[in-house]
Chains A and B, each alone.
Chain A
Amino acid sequence: MEKYYGWGLPIDISTHGPEIDRLIYVIHIFMALLFIGWFSFLVLALFKFRARPGHRATYKLDHFKTPTYLEVGIALFEALLLVGFSFPLVHKVRNVFPDESQALQVRVVAEQFAWNVHYPGGDGIFGKTDIHKITPANSVGLDEKDPNAHDDIVTINQLHIPVNRPVITRLSSKDVIHSFGIPVMRIKQDVIPGQVIPVWFEAKKTGNFEIACAQLCGLGHYRMRGFFTVETEEEFTKWFVSQPPFVALPLPPVDQSIVPSPPQGEREG
């Protein structure tokens, strides 16, 4: 198996990730250069101006020009980091969502200490949910009276997505703040109770990875681990149709070749 994790950044399988990684590298090179230069000056000064017999301190030195240049240089470089890297990237990740008709849509409902993953099923429409209907067997509280809910699929800690297709994930929480982090996707988003927060990402490599909770959410925070599987379209479809729907269907059978398509309208619980 390919090595995903090591001492540096984990493997990156997302389409937007390389830009984040590049920014991290650029900043660290900048930090290293600045620190080495500045530290060399410090060591030189400490050696050159150590107290010793016959050496006296100089009361006031001529004004140094270097620090001013250095300050201005640092300020300009920080401006470049903001305008050249951070702003465009954040805009792309947070504001420019993929076309909903192309993307896989999925809800993730976090709770102490699991990730409930809710797919809209073959009809592409999320069923109604209601917090009063939550039971151990119905972890997101789907309403069995809503026909749209019948083909919905809910998994616990299993997020399967197809490779090379954008995914829009709507995050919500049942109880406390969690943080939905997938290290290999360079995605992390706090999940705030009372809000539904969309994030999108696209994987360009298949494999089995992890969802990690990044925000202290209680005693089980350390084991709030989800499994994140990126598959080819065929494998994904195969997995998808093998999942039991919410209600075993008395309704007309759904064409099983349909992989979830865009929801026409979705409802949040």
Chain B
Amino acid sequence: MTHTDEHPLPFWRKYVFSTDHKVIGIQYAVTGLSFLLFGFGLMMLMRWQLAYPGQPLPFIGHLFHEKAMVMGIMLPEFYNQLGAMHGTIMVFLGVVPLAVGGFGNYLVPLQIGAPDMAFPKLNMMSYWVYFLGGVTMFASFFLPEGAAQSGWTSYSPLANIATTGQTVWLVGMIFLITSSLLGSVNFIVTIVQLRADGLSFFRFPFFVWAQFVTSFLLLLAFPPLEAAGVLQLMDRLAHTSFFMPSGLVVAGKVLEVSGGGNPLLWQHLFWFLAHPEVYVLILPAMGIVTEILACNTRKPIYGYKAMVYSVIFIGFMSFIVWAHHMFLTSMGTKMSAFFQITTMIISIPSVVILTALALSLWGGSIRFNTPTLFAIAFLPMFGIGGLTGLPLGLVASDIHLHDTYYVIGHFHYVVAPGTIFALFAGIYHWFPKVTGRKMSEFLGKLHFWPSLIFTNGVFMPMFLLGLAGVSRRLYDPIQYAHAQPTQPLNVFISICAWCLGLSQIPFILNFFGSLLWGKKVDKNPWEATTLEWAAPSPPPHGNFEHLPEVYRGPYEYSVPGQRHDFWPQHMKEEN
């Protein structure tokens, strides 16, 4: 069923309101990357206040509205807006849309040999609902009282009594959640129904498995947050009290609410999503790294089946660890024992996957191109992120480390040099497929090495801040005596963060430059085995010239007795 349209579509149907999974994937990826840059920009502003509290921001400080900065000096309300929106944007508008919407949309149909997603119009709708959510979030900065400022976790009652920005945040979240739900249904149906002939589940590239499990996580974890979002919206607009207990006194005045609600209900609903969400962030990244390492070590992945079982196990377990975010909320010791045990158990499959990937290098013939460098760096960086989860997963040590910079260091190691490095690896790896041109290796390495050094410079000192007991989300870190000795570290972190910003310039140049001047490539520049490399670069509408059939597993590299060191999945005869 290779069909190309007889009559060409008008521009806006082809590139704007397109139903082609590749165009939608690119739309997701470009929007997601733009939000990543924007979210990072917010953080770079915050880092000025953290390094030099109360000092005017040079050069650009006076450009801000007086409700954000007075004479270039940041106000606490603006700092809290930046904090809340940095988290929201990076997670919900940056990483997930890029990893799932971008990579998932573009690659899954290609890797399973399908001409498109199962529901192309639903796919288009999920992008545009996401886009509306993004516009809503972005626009909330221009409200009279600014954007949401109760943290990306939006704990009630603080969020209930917050300014209008919170209402807009909730509306934005409802758009984003709806978009993810539509997308996840589409992925599940596509993966189950549209597989090429011969593509059994254990012949899936690991990336497809990762997206498959991720889709279930999105489908099952997001509805509770959507419900919670609606309830908080009702609390704010219709004066219900789902999350508001009786007898509150705010700023000396008794609060007129019906009461009887419970603030912990919000936390349970929020973390019931937000813990699986962590795996939504990390599983596609593991998938990308697996693809790139298999291809660039020129050998099969070690322990592929163990990895698949692990990823399924992670999927199940991720639904029963959420309350480890709430160890300090007066939880009973029996309950906390349960969540400590599940938290320790979920670390095991992650270790299995990480170990399998590291062992996959053994016996390979490793090509150190840019995608491989980013993919290899993912391993120790994610490793640090995982290991530092250990003291946070045990209540006894969490008492001291909870809500300190240790937590920030921990999850940023997982997401920033972890997931985002994997996403960069993926961009360098599949750019030739998407555009038909390679990205520059020189600029790629100029992007990789400084990024690696400076991300570690940003996040490693945070563990020291956390051990010293410095709370997170402090507008001015030196108000507390116990935070003053570590203030030089804050200066160091900020300088590294700005240098990390500068290190992204080679990537931006490379991205746009390679679109125009990159070296042209054919179908399979990396000599890879999976199905997307059987399609032309870039793939036309309908993807394949002939729908492929699959004869073997995904990573048949360096098979003895073969002439070439790769044996594509769709190739019937010897290669």
Contact = CB atoms under 8 A, between A and B. Distances in A.
Interface of A: 4-10, 19-20, 23-24, 27-28, 30-31, 34-35, 38-39, 41-42, 45-46, 49-52, 55-61, 64, 67, 70-71, 74-75, 78-79, 81-82, 85-87, 89-91, 93-95, 111-112, 131-132, 134-136, 141, 174-177, 179, 181, 183-184, 186-190, 192-195, 197, 210, 212-223, 225, 269
A59 B361 contact: no
B63 interface: no
A269 B247 contact: yes
Interface string B346-361: 0110011001101101
Given A78-B347, A187-B399, A219-B76, A27 B391 contact: yes
Given A70-B355, A79-B344, A193-B245, A210 B482 contact: yes
B340 interface: yes
Given A10-B482, A219-B80, A222-B76, A131 B263 contact: no
Given A64-B359, A174-B248, A7 B468 contact: yes
A59 B358 contact: no
Contact of A51 (B77, B356, B366): B366
Given A112-B251, A213-B471, A59 B300 contact: yes
25 contacts: A8-B468, A23-B397, A24-B467, A38-B358, A39-B380, A42-B358, A49-B363, A56-B565, A57-B565, A58-B299, A70-B355, A74-B348, A81-B344, A111-B249, A131-B248, A175-B251, A179-B328, A190-B328, A190-B329, A193-B157, A197-B330, A214-B404, A214-B472, A216-B150, A216-B151
Nearest to A215: B403
Nearest 5 interchain pairs by C-beta: A194-B245, A183-B469, A58-B363, A57-B298, A89-B396
Nearest to A59: B558
B391 A194 contact: no
Contact of B368 (A4, A51, A58, A195): A51
A2 B223 CA distance: 53
Given A45-B362, A87-B337, A216-B473, A188 B328 contact: yes
A46 B361 contact: yes
Interface stretch (B167-175, B311-319, B382-390): B382-390
A192 B248 CA distance: 11
Interface centre among B157, B336, B379 (most CB of A within 10 A): B157
A19 B396 contact: yes
Nearest to A211: B480
Contacts of B560: 59
A219 B396 CA distance: 30
Given A49-B362, A90-B336, A57 B348 contact: no
A215 B158 CA distance: 11
Nearest to B266: A177
B: contact size bracket = 35 or more
Interface centre among B83, B355, B388, B464 (most CB of A within 10 A): B355
Contacts, number: 287
Nearest to A199: B330
A44 to B, nearest CB: 9
Contacts of A222: 76, 474-477, 479
B341 interface: yes
A75 B250 CA distance: 47
Given A82-B394, A177-B155, A4 B358 contact: no
A214 to B, nearest CB: 4
A34 B366 CA distance: 24
B452 to A, nearest CB: 14
Main secondary structure of the interface of A (DSSP, over half): mixed
A10 B468 contact: yes
B299 to A, nearest CB: 4
A134 B161 contact: no
A10 B486 contact: no
A176 B297 CA distance: 53
Nearest to B158: A176
B237 interface: no
Contacts of A49: 297, 361-366
Contacts of B387: 31, 34-35
Contacts of B328: 179, 188-190
B558 A85 contact: no
A185 to B, nearest CB: 10
B485 interface: yes
Given A210-B480, A219-B77, A195 B403 contact: no
Contacts of A193: 157, 245, 248, 263
B524 interface: no
Given A174-B248, A189-B328, 17 more contacts: A10-B482, A30-B390, A42-B380, A51-B367, A58-B363, A61-B362, A82-B394, A93-B399, A134-B254, A175-B248, A179-B403, A183-B469, A190-B329, A193-B245, A195-B245, A216-B151, A222-B477
B342 to A, nearest CB: 11
B480 A86 contact: no
A23 B347 CA distance: 18
B400 interface: yes
B383 A38 contact: yes
Contacts of A183: 400, 468-469, 482
